[in-house]
């Protein structure tokens, strides 16, 4: 199980250079392959979807040379696919599957097209029906209307030669059917008209198709939205050099980050995010996402090949928008809605149901985990963010093997810490997404303080947190709570699986220095010698540590956090800008503990305390998982001769120094 934990982000600022557009890359690859002559494609997107298309073209005998740095040379086959019999695996790449189906159906060979299981749930019947009107021989190998497909040599019909053929295709399920058909039609060499039945959705994607066909020498005559005519003897000709502009859908995440801007006005002054590679001159419909953000109140600036979004002083406001023209970028809008005042209603998005996953259902479920109220309709979503007084809940977000779910939900980290499950699915269209995200999204600060038992780190940490107005995490309390919950439930302290299950579901409230377990105050019970000793045993179990990891990271919220424990610097917050190892010699710590007990009126044996403390140190230091140790980048704070005030003052001085260096 892979995951990515994101702390709450507090401001977005900077500039991102976008990777090449997926829609343009895959169309350009196919057109270059079908064209006469050699094409050099620059800034081609490197991603799973484009890799599927490249593999398929190679399998079909098309020569493609990787010239490095996103540049590819494609040797066109002038409409004659060299390999006449092949089996192609196209993963979950819808653009590749639909367009190759159309091209191969008209290419006079014998081909099998398959994909991942989800691809077999994505409809293709409307395209097959259209191709059959041209004599294509296509057989469903599984469920009728869905991949996988077997395609055999076409049997062209004779009728309609003079005035040209007319093919009907449905346009209201996926615009990729029309795109595939249009891209393939020049292979017939005949004048053909395409009549779209039903209202054409996602029209801007068809515009990209027509624009690229024109760049490769084929002009389609278009009568409104419903009819497209290809001339007789149309053929693709390589344009020589071809530059792929930046991906407008990928731009949406960064523009939204800029529009969300800053939490609690932290660093708001020069917040804002600029994307390079796509702008007013773009041929991609998703650039119009910027208009949607502007309607929500964001400030948008735009040049020919760049855009910039920044947050309005008054915050974003909810809108109602028909998103048929920006189906992919509209997902970003759904998550941006978490940051808007009032409801956001995203309409006319039925196509979401047949994408990488049922995106309407997935979006509703995951936004709900964060505390948003979501109404889900057959073709719309209505999102009401959590009330201002109730911050979004930290949550584990599932991504459904859908790259856009993974990218969209990274934005929600401005509302709350998150765990994104299987974040690597971004590789479908944007493998480097999270590296770019980290360049512009800035997390709430965290100070990690580790040290052995009775070193005074708890007191110092809590005071530093209070002085800075930060949250405070006493991570040891979570191990103690697990031990206590185990005791209450009669679970053995060696039973790793049962302890981990308890740790994962602890019902804990920390409030004003008190700790409640299942609604009962346990602040004192946690500190008993029996629980202290049990906590140290429980903490040595890897499954328990794993179960408590996200619970600890969920404290990493705005405006900042001080976390104390044994592995704050090494495991829980390895990116903390300030790490401190706070310690004192064993006799000094034993002496402090002994005095504490005396003050509480408890009789205590100094030697026994020292022996117990050394045993616990030993266990914490030598355990195989997350042992207690000073990280190489942690500062040492030895409190043998320091009182609490001096230790707190030292931590605060280091914090000011760290912040000044970072600025
Ligand atoms: O800090 P403390 O004494 O409350 O910690 C209780 C136990 O939990 C202690 O034996 C060490 C363990 N612990 C840990 O392993 N990792 C942490 N981050 C915090 C505490």
Q: Is the pLDDT of residue 266 over 60?
A: no
Angle in degrees, CA 480, 485, 486, rounded to 5: 95
At 340, phi and psi to the nearest 5? -100, 155
Q: Residues 374, 234: one domain?
A: no
Distance, CA of 202 to chain centre: 23
Active site (annotated) includes residue 398 = no
Q: Give the model confidence (pLDDT) of 572-623 as tens digits.
A: 999 999 999 999 999 999 999 899 888 888 888 999 999 989 988 888 889 8
Q: What is the CATH number of the domain that holds 555?
A: 3.40.50.300
pLDDT above 70 coverage of the chain, percent: 98
Integer Cα distance of 334 and 275 in angstroms? 20
Kindly give, in sequence order, each residue whose CB lies less than 8 Å from that of residue 653, ignoring residues fewer than 6 positions away. Answer: none
pLDDT of residue 159 exceeding 70: no
Supply φ then ψ for residue 230, to 5 degrees: -100, 135
User: Residue 125 above 90 pLDDT?
Assistant: yes
Residues 85 and 136 in one domain: yes
Q: Give the C-alpha distances (Å, rounded to integers) separating 528 from 71, 143, 301, 480, 488.
A: 66, 64, 61, 10, 14
Query: What is the rounded CA–CA span in Å between residue 368 and residue 390?
Result: 14
Cα–Cα dist 150/110, whole Å = 7
Pairing of strands 3-6, 221-223: unpaired
Ligand 1 centroid to residue 644 C-alpha, Å: 20
Q: Which helix (H) or strand (E) holds 498?
A: helix 496-504
- Using CA atoms, how far residue 578 sits from 437, 455, 563, 598, in Å, is 22, 19, 11, 35
Say what the pTM is: 0.92
Find out whether the beta carbon of 450 lies less than 6 Å from any atom of ligand 1.
Answer: no
Query: CB of 315 within 8 A of CB of 341?
Result: yes
DSSP assignment of 624-637:
SSS-----TTSEEE
Based on the fold, state whether residues 219 and 279 are members of the same structural domain: no
Beta bridge partners of 89: 114
Q: Is 450 helix (H, G, I), strand (E, B) or coil?
A: strand
- The domain in which residue 454 lies consists of 446-662
Separation of CA 625 from chain center: 29
Helix (H) and strand (E) counts for the chain? 20, 34
Atom index in ligand 1 nearest the CA of residue 457 equals 1
Final residue of a structural domain among 401, 419, 440 = 440
- Please, is 172 exposed, middle or buried when counting C-beta atoms within 10 Å of its C-beta (0-12, 13-18, 19+)? middle
Could you tell me the sign of the dihedral formed by the alpha carbons of 345, 348, 353, 357, in that order?
Answer: negative
Note whether 239 and 250 are same-domain residues. no
User: 486: CA distance to ligand 1 center in Å?
Assistant: 16
Q: Are residues 498 and 596 in the same domain?
A: yes
What would the DSSP string read from start to end of 297-325?
T-EEEE-SSEEEEE--TT-EE--EEE-TT
Length of the chain: 663
My answer on whether 401 and 481 are in the same domain is no
* Domain match, 80 and 164 both: yes
Q: Are residues 56 and 155 in the same domain?
A: yes
Q: Are residues 503 and 637 in the same domain?
A: yes
Same domain, 109 and 214: yes
What's the mean pLDDT in 456-466? Answer: 96
User: Which ligand 1 atom sits nearest the alpha carbon of residue 479?
Assistant: 8
pLDDT at 447 over 70: yes
Closest of 241, 238, 243 to residue 37, by C-alpha: 238
In CATH, what number is assigned to the domain containing residue 48? 3.65.10.10
Confidence at residue 164, expressed as pLDDT on a 0 to 100 scale: 75
Which ligand 1 atom is the nearest neighbour of the CA of 552?
18
Domain final residue, candidates 440, 466, 494: 440
Q: What is the pLDDT of residues 524-582, one digit of tens each?
A: 999 888 898 899 899 999 999 999 999 999 999 999 999 999 999 999 999 999 999 99
pLDDT value of residue 268: 53
- Residue 591 CA, chain-centre distance (Å), reads 50
471 close to 561: Cβ distance less than 8 angstroms: yes
Q: What is the pLDDT of residues 421-437, one digit of tens each?
A: 999 999 999 999 999 99
pLDDT at 156: 82
Query: Which of 446, 448, 457, 475 is the pocket-test mutation for ligand 1 (most atoms within 8 Å of CB)?
Result: 475
pLDDT of residue 603: 82
pLDDT, tens digit, 9 for 90 and up, residues 393-419: 999 999 999 999 999 999 999 999 999
Other CB atoms within 10 A of residue 521 CB: 11
Beta-bridge partner residues of 243: 42
Same domain, 502 and 573: yes
Residue of 48, 286, 328, 474 marked active site: 328
Helix (H) or strand (E) holding 650: helix 644-662
565 ligand 1 Cβ < 6 A: yes
Task: Give the total number of structural domains in the chain.
Answer: 3
What pLDDT does residue 608 have?
Answer: 92
Q: How far is the CA of 540 from the centre of ligand 1 (A)?
A: 10
| 453 Cα nearest atom in ligand 1 | 3
pLDDT of residue 596: 85
Q: Ligand 1 center to residue 566 CA distance, Å?
A: 6
If you average pLDDT over residues 289-310, what whole number do you get? 97
Ranges of H-type helices in 373-469 = 403-410, 433-440, 457-468
Residue 229 φ/ψ, nearest 5 degrees: -125, 130
Would you place residue 334 in the very low, low, confident or very high pLDDT band (cuts 50, 70, 90)? very high
Residue 98 pLDDT class (50, 70, 90 cuts): very high
Indicate whether 175 pLDDT > 90: yes
Strands 446-450 and 561-565, bridge-based pairing: parallel
| Mean per-residue pLDDT over the chain, rounded | 94
Angle formed at CA 555 by CA 622 and CA 500, multiple of 5 degrees: 50
pLDDT at 150: 98
If asked whether residues 180 and 318 sit together in one domain, one would say no
Confidence of residue 463 (pLDDT cuts 50, 70, 90): very high
Domain boundary among 440, 455, 474: 440
């Amino acid at each position: 199980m892979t995951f990515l934990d994101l702390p709450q982000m507090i401001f977005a600022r900077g500039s991102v250079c976008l990777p090449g557009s997926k829609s343009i890359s895959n169309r350009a690859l196919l057109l270059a392959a079908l064209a006469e002559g050699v094409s050099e494609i620059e800034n081609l997107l490197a991603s799973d979807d484009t890799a599927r298309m490249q593999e398929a073209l190679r399998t079909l005998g098309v020569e493609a040379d990787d010239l490095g740095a996103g540049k590819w040379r494609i040797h066109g086959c002038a409409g004659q696919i060299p390999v006449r019999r092949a089996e192609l695996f196209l993963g979950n790449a819808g653009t590749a599957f639909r367009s190759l189906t159309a091209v191969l159906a008209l290419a006079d060979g014998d081909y099998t097209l398959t994909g991942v299981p989800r691809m077999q749930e994505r409809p293709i019947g409307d395209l097959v029906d259209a191709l059959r009107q041209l004599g294509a021989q296509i057989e469903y190998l599984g469920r009728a209307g869905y991949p996988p497909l077997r395609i055999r040599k076409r049997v062209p019909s004779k009728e309609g030669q003079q005035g040209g053929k007319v093919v009907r295709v449905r346009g209201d399920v996926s615009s990729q059917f029309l795109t595939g058909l249009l891209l393939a039609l020049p292979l017939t060499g005949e004048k053909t008209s395409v009549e779209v039945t039903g209202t054409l959705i996602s029209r801007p994607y068809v515009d990209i198709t027509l624009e690229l066909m024109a760049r490769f020498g084929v002009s389609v005559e278009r009568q409104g939205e419903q009819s497209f005519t290809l001339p007789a003897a149309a053929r693709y000709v390589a344009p020589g050099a071809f530059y792929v502009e930046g991906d407008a859908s990928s731009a949406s995440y960064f523009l939204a980050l800029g529009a969300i801007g800053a939490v609690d006005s932290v660093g708001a002054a020069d917040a804002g995010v600029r994307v390079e590679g796509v702008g007013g001159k773009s041929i991609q419909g998703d650039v119009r996402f910027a208009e949607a953000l502007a309607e929500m109140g964001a400030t948008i600036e735009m040049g020919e090949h760049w855009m910039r979004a920044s947050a309005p002083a008054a915050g974003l406001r909810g809108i109602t928008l028909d998103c048929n023209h920006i189906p992919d970028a509209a997902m970003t809008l759904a998550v941006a809605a978490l940051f808007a005042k009032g409801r956001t209603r995203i309409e006319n998005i039925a196509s979401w149901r047949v994408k990488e996953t049922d995106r309407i259902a997935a979006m509703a479920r995951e936004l709900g985990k964060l505390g948003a109220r979501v109404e889900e309709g057959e073709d719309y979503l209505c999102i009401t963010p959590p009330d201002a007084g109730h911050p979004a809940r930290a949550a584990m977000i599932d991504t459904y093997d859908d790259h856009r779910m993974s990218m969209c939900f990274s934005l929600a980290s401005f509302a709350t810490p998150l765990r994104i499950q299987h974040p690597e699915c971004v590789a479908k269209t944007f493998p480097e997404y999270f590296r770019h995200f980290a360049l512009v999204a800035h997390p709430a600060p965290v100070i990690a303080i580790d040290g052995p038992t009775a070193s005074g780190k708890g007191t110092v940490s809590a005071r530093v947190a209070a002085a800075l107005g930060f949250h405070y995490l006493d991570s040891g309390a979570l191990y103690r709570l697990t031990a206590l919950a185990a005791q209450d439930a009669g679970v053995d302290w060696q039973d790793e699986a049962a302890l981990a299950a308890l740790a994962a579901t602890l019902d804990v409230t920390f409030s004003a220095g008190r700790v409640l377990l299942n609604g009962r105050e346990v602040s004192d019970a946690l500190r008993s010698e029996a629980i202290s000793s049990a906590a140290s045993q429980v903490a040595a179990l890897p499954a328990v540590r794993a179960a408590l990891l996200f619970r600890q990271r969920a404290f990493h919220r705005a405006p900042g956090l001080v976390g104390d424990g044994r592995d704050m610097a090494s495991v829980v917050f390895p990116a903390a800008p300030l790490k401190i190892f706070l310690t004192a010699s064993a006799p000094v710590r034993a002496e402090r503990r002994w005095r504490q007990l005396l003050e509480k009126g408890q009789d205590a044996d100094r030697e026994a305390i020292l022996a117990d403390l050394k045993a616990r140190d030993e266990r914490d230091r030598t355990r195989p998982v997350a042992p207690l140790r000073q990280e190489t980048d942690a500062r040492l704070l030895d409190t043998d001769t320091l009182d609490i005030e001096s230790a707190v003052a030292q931590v605060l001085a280091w914090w000011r120094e760290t912040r000044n260096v970072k600025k």
